[in-house]
């Protein structure tokens, strides 16, 4: 395979904040390349640099062997499309949104119709052409955004947390779409905290930590490499080891230890390593009444202010890392040693 994009010693600074630190990597044409790491690790910054939305403070970007500078940045904008985590829909129909870029490029009405139809079919939105894009659910809007990127048929597609904060049905459809895209040998670079997603989709991954690339390689090779950061990343990402058994309902119960059992939507028996994203855990000061299969009571042992988000460490038999908005944190009047209830769905539990 031929290298399609390459970073050489790329650093990005925002004032005193070092978002990327001497990052180097190569992505081969036709591969799905995963960027994994916790929030703030530099994944989105790296994607924005590749999309020519940001310029590096230092370092080089190469596209198909050509070094990118101020005079030829259009090589990136013409050939790379980015799908953002927070999707923005234009006013108008689903058809209008997917067709927008094609019309700007001067495609004929007939060609636009054919391309839009194929793109919507790929994301399983065949009969949505006339619907108002802004009235769709978040997951459906994300599928429209992917269709919009597919329609442009650029050489590289960048995806920033494509299934974050999306309902399980739409998340599953999006993952199926990404598998279809990968089978077509489209070059895709995906930033994700979903470890199962990275393992299932990516040919190779890069692990980012505070702007630095800690390792590059196949998922299992990188995750098995000895690394203090990976141990910390595992802790941050709520990774637990236990023995799993399959229930009569077809779910699995993972016995982490005598004080903690976790129910998961997958079917697996034997030794199992699982994780739950902090964003998928609901926090309450009152017992929760919900359909979530996993509910635990614990105490806050650590509080980290991340601006609009507050990260909490909660001891609920095992330590869970969770996130709440600052507004929710203040409304619940949380503090160290506050008792809280945690809840998350069985579908939120994934295998590492």
Residues 164-189 have a mean pLDDT of 85
Encode pLDDT of 63-111 as tens digits.
999 999 999 999 999 999 999 988 889 999 999 999 999 999 999 999 9
Residues 117-122 have a mean pLDDT of 96
* Torsional class of 270: left (φ above 0), alpha (ψ -120 to 50), beta (otherwise): left
3-state secondary structure string across 262-315:
EEECCCCCEEEEEECCHHHCEEECCCCCCCCCEEEEEEEEEEEEECCEEEEEEE
What SS3 class is residue 108? Answer: coil
Encode pLDDT of 248-289 as tens digits.
988 999 999 877 899 999 989 999 988 888 888 999 999 887
User: DSSP letters of 176-196?
Assistant: HHHHHHHHTT-EEEEEES-HH
> Domain residues of the chain, as ranges?
3-232, 239-351
Matching residue, tokens 């994994």: 36
Residue 239: the pLDDT is 84
Encode pLDDT of 1-48 as tens digits.
699 999 999 999 999 999 999 999 999 999 999 999 888 899 999 999
Classified by CATH at the fold level, domain 239-351 comes out as OB fold (Dihydrolipoamide Acetyltransferase, E2P) (2.40.50)
Domain 3-232 superfamily per CATH: P-loop containing nucleotide triphosphate hydrolases (3.40.50.300)
Q: Percentage of the chain surpassing pLDDT 90? A: 64
Residue 280: the pLDDT is 86
Contacts of 108 (CB under 8 A, 6+ apart): none
Neighbours of 157 (CB within 10 A): 22
């Amino acid at each position: 395979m031929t290298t399609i994009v390459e970073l050489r010693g790329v650093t990005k600074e925002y004032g005193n904040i070092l978002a990327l630190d001497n990052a180097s990597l190569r992505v081969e044409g036709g591969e799905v390349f995963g960027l994994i790491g916790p929030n703030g690790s530099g994944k989105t910054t790296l994607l924005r640099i590749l999309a020519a939305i940001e310029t590096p403070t230092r370092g080089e970007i190469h596209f198909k062997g050509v070094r990118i500078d101020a005079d030829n940045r259009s090589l990136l904008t013409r050939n790379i499309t980015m799908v953002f985590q927070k999707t923005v829909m234009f006013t108008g129909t689903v058809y209008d949104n997917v067709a927008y870029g094609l019309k700007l490029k001067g495609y004929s009405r007939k060609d636009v119709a054919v391309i839009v139809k194929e793109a919507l079919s790929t994301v399983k939105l065949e009969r949505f052409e006339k619907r108002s894009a802004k009235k769709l659910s978040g997951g459906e809007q994300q599928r429209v955004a992917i269709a919009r990127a597919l329609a442009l048929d650029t050489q590289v597609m960048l995806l920033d947390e494509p299934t974050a904060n999306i309902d399980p049905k739409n998340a599953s459809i999006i993952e199926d779409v990404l598998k279809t895209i990968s089978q077509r040998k489209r070059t895709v670079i995906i930033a994700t905290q979903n470890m199962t997603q990275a393992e299932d989709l990516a040919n190779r991954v890069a692990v980012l930590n505070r702007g630095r690339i800690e390792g590059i390689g196949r998922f299992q090779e990188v995750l098995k490499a000895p690394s203090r950061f990976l141990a910390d990343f595992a802790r941050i990402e709520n990774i637990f080891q236990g023995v799993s058994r399959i229930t009569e309902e077809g779910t699995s119960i993972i016995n982490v230890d005598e004080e903690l059992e976790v129910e998961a939507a997958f079917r697996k028996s034997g030794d199992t390593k699982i994780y739950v994203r902090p964003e998928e855990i609901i926090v309450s000061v009152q017992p929760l009444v919900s359909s979530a299969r996993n509910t635990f009571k614990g105490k806050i042992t650590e509080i980290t202010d991340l601006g609009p988000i507050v990260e909490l460490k909660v001891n609920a038999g095992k330590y869970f890392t969770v996130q709440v908005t600052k507004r929710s944190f203040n409304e619940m009047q949380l503090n160290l040693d506050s008792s809280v209830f945690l809840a998350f769905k069985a579908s939120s539990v994934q295998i590492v």
